[in-house]
Amino acid sequence: MSKRDEDIAAIKQLAAEWRSGWISGDADLLLSLYADDPVLMPQDAPAVKGKEQIRSIYESVLKEYRIESQSRVMEVEVAGDWGYFWSTYSLAATPKPRGKPIHSAGKSVFIVKRERGGAWRIVRLIDNSDGPPADPAK
């Protein structure tokens, strides 16, 4: 396996861990996938800088919703210690303790960087939906 192939496999593993963090409701796992100085760029909201600000958002969402999702990595590219991947997703966010799920689908771009020691971490994340979430009342 070439170094490039190894890097692509490692980035795909990062994508799988990302999904696992959401499904398991584990904000610590999600934050562990970020570099020390990340920027999250969510749809319809200002950019969020830094792990602690991102943690606040994730903990709030995971406290109120159980997430089920499907995702597909569409493309991965690496150039030295930098890379990116983009993926598509569909998800259901069900209010806790129970409620009607809110369905959403969209795509995300993750810019990643290799840290000392070789681990790939998220430095920038741009996320947007394919449209407004489906109305749970319907």
Q: What is the dihedral of CA 21, 26, 28, 33, to 10 degrees?
A: 0
Longest dimension (CA), the chain: 51
CATH number, domain containing residue 58: 3.10.450.50
The pLDDT > 70 percentage for the chain reads 96
The answer to whether position 135 is within a domain reads: no
The answer to whether position 30 is within a domain reads: yes
The answer to whether position 18 is within a domain reads: yes
The answer to whether position 138 is within a domain reads: no
Residue 31 lies in domain:
3-129
The pLDDT > 90 percentage for the chain reads 91
Rounded to two decimals, the pTM is 0.92
Residue with tokens 């496999």: 9
Give the residue-averaged pLDDT of 119-136.
87
Short-list 137, 130, 122, 39, CA closest to 82: 122
Overall domain count for the chain: 1
> Are 113 and 120 a contacting pair, CB within 8 Å?
yes
Short-list 10, 30, 130, CA closest to 2: 10
Given pLDDT bands bounded at 50, 70 and 90, which one contains residue 34?
A: very high
The answer to whether position 21 is within a domain reads: yes
